[in-house]
Amino acid sequence: GGSPCQSFSMVGKRRGFDDTRGTLFYEFARVVKESQPNVFIFENVRAFLNTTCTDIDGTEKTIEEAIKINLGGHYNILFKVVNFKDYGSQSSRTRTLVIGVRKDLQNISPFDIFPEKQKTKTLRQLFAGLENINEMGKISETDIFHSFREYDAKMVRWIENLEEGQSAFQNTEKDRIPHQIKDGK
């Protein structure tokens, strides 16, 4: 399970349970409690477990505490913050994983099903074999997920002279360093 993260994300408005998407967590916990699957996996943003909720007993507690109280009696539970790029994902995405294994299952724990770390791939490795696309808005004819998305034209000066491995923040010319203009500054 993975309820929509907008309710808990540091990027969003963080309306938590005031946003109906945030309450889907309760439905997931209810389904797990009722159906008693052998294993459950829940995924959400880093801050998810520390978010305060009103539990089914009417008291305020963190989501982590609510999970432990409501599911911990029947499950061995692992709470772990990971970056998916360390486990084979093609992008850097820090997430919270909650893995529960029913306590009556012999010789298995959440650690047994947790994936092995993998060496993070470089951009060169990720892009190897992809066709060269140099036109903004163009989509590959053989891979719809490979495209040159449009971006603000002011960004061209930030990146046009970079060498492989450099960041735009390493530019020495002030007008080539990424910035925002606020109040004319």
Selection from 180, 168, 11 nearest residue 93 by Cα = 11
The pair of structure tokens assigned to 38 is 């052998």
- The phi and psi torsions of 79 (rounded to 5 degrees) equal -110, 125
- The phi and psi torsions of 78 (rounded to 5 degrees) equal -115, 125
Q: Which residue has the tokens 């947790």?
A: 114
Looking at the DSSP assignment, which residues form a beta bridge with residue 148? Answer: none
The residue from 1, 3, 4, 5 that is catalytic is 5
Selection from 82, 122, 76, 124 nearest residue 101 by Cα = 76
Antiparallel, parallel or unpaired: β 75-83 and 94-102: antiparallel
Residue 5 is a catalytic residue: yes
**Cβ count near 104 (within 10 Å):** 9
Catalytic residue IDs: 5
